[in-house]
């Protein structure tokens, strides 16, 4: 029996995306968003939703670029911090001992110590209501060699990404491998 | 040391969203997408990316509505099946013993046996390239009572959602609780 919960913004899983940007004075900033994901294969694109009024909103509008950093579960407190504090008040890179590296491809920084990053140039800006969706064209993906497998592909067991549960308001880690995609369904 | 992987469409985690639609003959269909997520709070919206040529693409254009169903990990083979087979060739509801229920709010079906569903009316259609992003306004969320906690909120430990790893091409379950959001970061 289904129960109506009303028009809530709940979905599983929600990613924990740490967005890197520069302000007009070249101060690097980080902000965590849970609303976003890959949205096109050609051009390769990722979308993120940001409210007007955020430092990150202004920075993306001005620089037309951002990075999307994925953190490992041992960095969960940092990711949470980036979502709580405004870049107008604090230098979030230095406060968390993360080194800002300027992307060679776009006008945005990423974290040297972060294991996985997408470098994006602004492709489309879509006004939705309270939130603006920024769609970035992915110009490159960079990953720490320590999280790659022998074939040079990201290894989830090494990366140890985590996600956000909007109902309990907790972060959860990666669980057990369940089934091979584009394969398990053939048994139906 | 970071290694360049090129402009790949990899992010962690990717959701496994089962999209319910009707075709012009009222035949219900299901299709799995891994590209989508919540994108606005007011109006409450969810985005999904679909290629032209898919049955689901035509159905959303015609009906201006879709449902987003989240499955439990014991349904992972069904979710994979919905992503492999075309609704033009098979009746995916009946093949997987799922009962189509017509939403009372929008012109789209959801699965009676699925634990969690968003009912959406088409709000915006954004052409990105190979993929079209459909943004749906969430009119209601419905959940099986069996996955709710005592306060009536979805309980992730009961729902047991899973996600997709585009690098290994495997589905993974929910892991252990790591930290409280909007709280753990205050310890920085």
Residue B116 pLDDT exceeds 90: yes
Q: Which of A2, A130, A175 sits opposite B175 (nearest CB)?
A: A175
Half-sphere exposure of B137 (CA within 13 A, CB side): 13
Confidence (pLDDT) at B185: 96
Confidence (pLDDT) at B72: 98
Q: How far apart are CA A136 and CA B86, in angstroms?
A: 30
Testing the interface with A: which of B5, B8, B12 to mutate, by most A Cβ within 10 A? B12
Confidence (pLDDT) at B188: 87
CB contact under 8 A, A12 and B116: yes
Q: How far apart are CA B60 and CA B22, in angstroms?
A: 8
Residue A89 pLDDT exceeds 90: no
What tens digit of pLDDT does each residue of B54-70 get? 999 999 999 999 999 99
Q: Which of B95, B169, B173 sits opposite A175 (nearest CB)?
A: B173
What tens digit of pLDDT does each residue of A98-134 get? 999 999 999 999 999 999 999 999 999 999 999 999 9
Q: Is B26 exposed, middle or buried (0-12, 13-18, 19+ CB in 10 A)?
A: exposed
Q: Which of B49, B124, B185 sits opposite A39 (nearest CB)?
A: B49
Residue of B nearest to A183 (CA): B80
Band (B88; pLDDT cuts 50, 70, 90): confident
Type and span of the H or E element at B159 = helix B156-159
Alpha carbon of B26: minimum distance to chain A alpha carbons (Å) = 23
Confidence (pLDDT) at A188: 87
Residue of A nearest to B6 (CA): A140
Residue A87 pLDDT exceeds 90: no
Band (A13; pLDDT cuts 50, 70, 90): very high
CB contact under 8 A, A173 and B175: yes
Q: Which of B81, B135, B188 sits opposite A96 (nearest CB)?
A: B188
Look at A166 and B87; give whichever has higher pLDDT. A166
Type and span of the H or E element at A63 = helix A55-63
The gap from C-alpha B1 to its chain's centroid, in whole angstroms, comes to: 36
Average pLDDT over residues B1-25: 97
Mean pLDDT over the full length of chain B: 97
CB contact under 8 A, A167 and B154: yes
CB contact under 8 A, A161 and B13: yes
Predicted model pTM: 0.97
What is B54-110 written as a DSSP string?
A: SHHHHHHHHHSEEEEEE--GGGHHHHHHHHHS-TTT--HHHHTT--EEE-SSSS-EE
- The answer for residues whose C-beta is within 8 angstroms of residue B185's C-beta and 6 or more apart is A77, A78, A79, A80, A81, A82, A83, A84, A85
Average pLDDT over residues B79-92: 93
Q: Which of B9, B40, B184 sits opposite A128 (nearest CB)?
A: B40
Residue A165 pLDDT exceeds 90: yes
The gap from C-alpha B181 to its chain's centroid, in whole angstroms, comes to: 23
Alpha carbon of B172: minimum distance to chain A alpha carbons (Å) = 4
Cite the DSSP H helix spans in A64-103. Answer: 76-84, 92-95
Closest CA relative to residue A65, chosen from A21, A95, A130: A21
Residue of A nearest to B138 (CA): A7
Alpha carbon of B125: minimum distance to chain A alpha carbons (Å) = 11
What tens digit of pLDDT does each residue of A14-57 get? 999 999 999 999 999 999 999 999 999 999 999 999 999 999 99
Q: How far apart are CA B138 and CA A162, in angstroms?
A: 25
Chain A residues within 8 A of B49 when measuring between CB atoms: 38-40
């Amino acid at each position: 029996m289904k129960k109506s919960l009303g028009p809530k913004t709940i979905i599983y899983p929600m990613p924990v995306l740490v967005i890197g940007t520069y302000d007009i004075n070249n101060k690097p900033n980080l902000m965590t968003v849970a609303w976003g994901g890959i949205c096109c294969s050609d051009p390769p694109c990722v979308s993120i939703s940001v409210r007007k009024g955020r430092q990150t909103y202004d920075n993306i509008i001005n620089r037309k670029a951002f990075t999307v950093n994925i953190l490992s579960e041992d960095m969960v407190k940092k990711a949470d911090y980036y979502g709580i504090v405004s870049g107008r008040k604090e230098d979030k890179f230095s406060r968390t001992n993360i080194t800002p590296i300027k992307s060679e491809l776009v006008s945005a920084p990423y974290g040297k110590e972060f294991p996985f990053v997408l470098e994006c140039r602004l492709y489309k800006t879509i006004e939705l209501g309270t939130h603006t969706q920024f769609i970035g064209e992915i110009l490159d993906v960079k990953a720490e060699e320590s999280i790659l497998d022998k074939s040079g592909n990201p290894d989830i067991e090494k990366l140890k990404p985590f996600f956000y549960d909007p109902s309990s308001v907790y972060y959860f880690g990666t669980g057990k491998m369940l089934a091979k995609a584009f394969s398990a369904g053939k048994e139906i």
